[in-house]
Chains A and B, each alone.
Chain A
């Protein structure tokens, strides 16, 4: 039980942090620079990286860990003027779960012998999840399968996944650098 609470807290904090960055920084910037893109589509959706990592680490349980934070951020988004459909957090997470299971089924041998796949494998999970997600979100928010909105979701998810991984990579690099400086 303690382990589940710990996982839930880590996933929630990571998701809320990434989502807050999107709401507080990326969304206003996007509105200024690309005001023809609808508010519900973020062109740099960092939480997608967190979702992908969560599903890889915790499997289907990640859906349960992610759901409360996703609904919390839906409420926060509404406060910030971005109204999302009530089903959208659940749809996002189920789409990611589907993408994760699909990637696992299509590429079962991509994990290395150490059990740690290459980062590109996460990219494949991110892409499949994003494709399922874009279909669901376009239907929910645009009420039709609009290709430009659907591609906006895919671009946002994939860019967010990539930037999220870059942030993590540089974060760990910086942590290593600090350790080296402290040891010196």
Chain B
């Protein structure tokens, strides 16, 4: 049974990647919140720091690991991208 579950999980991951490439992957509540905060902060500057994203009022209900995971997911989905020369700076894509 565990092999079957493993295979189903593999297929789900592959199909989720396919969804992301087709641009129809849904994003979760935390990702939506992080994306909104990036959009909000990007109003002042193009590049938004991770520190500002973590401290944004929309995100203060989530744990740090969840927020970092959401940032990674959004980056993988091509919604945000790393920018600037310093580490931890993000910019909206598109």
The chain A residues found within 8 Å of chain B, CB to CB, are 3, 6-7, 10, 53, 57, 114-119, 122, 165, 168-169, 172-173, 176
In the complex, A10 Cα to B3 Cα: how many Å?
Answer: 13
Contact across chains for B3 and A3 when beta carbons are under 8 A apart: yes
Asked whether any CB of chain A lies closer than 8 Å to the CB of B27, the reply is no
- Give every chain B residue within 8 A of A6 (Cβ-Cβ): 4
- Give every chain A residue within 8 A of B16 (Cβ-Cβ): 172
CB<8 Å pairs between A and B, sample of 13: A3-B3, A7-B4, A118-B14, A119-B14, A119-B18, A119-B21, A122-B14, A168-B11, A168-B15, A169-B18, A169-B22, A172-B12, A173-B24
By Cβ-Cβ distance, the 4 closest A-B pairs, closest first, are A119-B18, A169-B15, A116-B10, A116-B13
Excluding A119-B21, A176-B26, 13 further A-B contacts by CB distance (< 8 Å) are A3-B3, A114-B13, A115-B10, A116-B14, A116-B17, A119-B15, A119-B17, A119-B18, A165-B15, A169-B19, A169-B22, A172-B12, A173-B26
Contact across chains for B7 and A117 when beta carbons are under 8 A apart: no
Chain B residues within 8 Å of chain A by Cβ, number = 17
- Give every chain A residue within 8 A of B19 (Cβ-Cβ): 169, 173
In the complex, A168 Cα to B21 Cα: how many Å?
Answer: 15
Determine the residue in chain A with the shortest Cβ distance to B28: A180
- Give every chain A residue within 8 A of B24 (Cβ-Cβ): 173
Determine the residue in chain A with the shortest Cβ distance to B13: A116
In the complex, A115 Cα to B13 Cα: how many Å?
Answer: 11
- Give every chain B residue within 8 A of A172 (Cβ-Cβ): 11-12, 15-16
- Give every chain B residue within 8 A of A117 (Cβ-Cβ): 14
- Give every chain B residue within 8 A of A122 (Cβ-Cβ): 14
In the complex, A168 Cα to B24 Cα: how many Å?
Answer: 14
Contact across chains for B7 and A57 when beta carbons are under 8 A apart: yes
In the complex, A171 Cα to B8 Cα: how many Å?
Answer: 13
- Give every chain A residue within 8 A of B15 (Cβ-Cβ): 119, 165, 168-169, 172
In the complex, A170 Cα to B3 Cα: how many Å?
Answer: 23
Determine the residue in chain A with the shortest Cβ distance to B22: A169
A53 to chain B, nearest CB (A): 7
Q: Which chain B residues in 1-42 approach chain A with CB under 8 Å?
A: 3-4, 7, 10-19, 21-22, 24, 26
Q: Which of B13, B14, B16, B21 has the most CB of A within 10 A?
A: B14
